[in-house]
């Protein structure tokens, strides 16, 4: 099981900074990790679609690309 880096960073920061900084940092890191997660998920989906198109001969992928 892999632990995301923002969570580790939050744990490290929580050891050294007061709680009011932690809450603001947690909000920022949480929003950043959510945006990065959605970005990685969309990239993964696009990569899977490309792989599926090339594995199927590429005709479907080329048709979608040409229409777009």
**pLDDT tens per residue, range 30-59:** 888 888 888 888 888 877 777 777 665 555
Tell me the percentage of the chain whose pLDDT exceeds 70.
Answer: 54
For residue 52, give every residue at least 6 positions away whose Cβ sits within 8 Å of its Cβ, in sequence order, or none: 60, 61
61 CB-contact burial (10 Å; exposed 0-12 / middle 13-18 / buried 19+): middle
Does the reported pTM lie above 0.75? no
pLDDT at 27 over 70: yes
Q: Tokens for 42, please give them.
A: 């969309």
Give me the pLDDT at residue 65, please. 54
Other Cβ atoms less than 10 A from the Cβ of 6: the count is 19
Q: What does the pLDDT read at residue 34? A: 84
């Amino acid at each position: 099981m892999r632990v995301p880096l923002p969570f580790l960073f939050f744990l490290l920061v929580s050891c050294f900074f007061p709680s009011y900084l932690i809450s603001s940092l947690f909000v920022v890191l949480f929003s950043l990790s959510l945006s990065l997660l959605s970005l990685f998920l969309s990239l993964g989906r696009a990569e899977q679609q490309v792989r599926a198109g090339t594995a199927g001969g590429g005709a479907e992928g080329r048709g979608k690309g040409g229409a777009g």
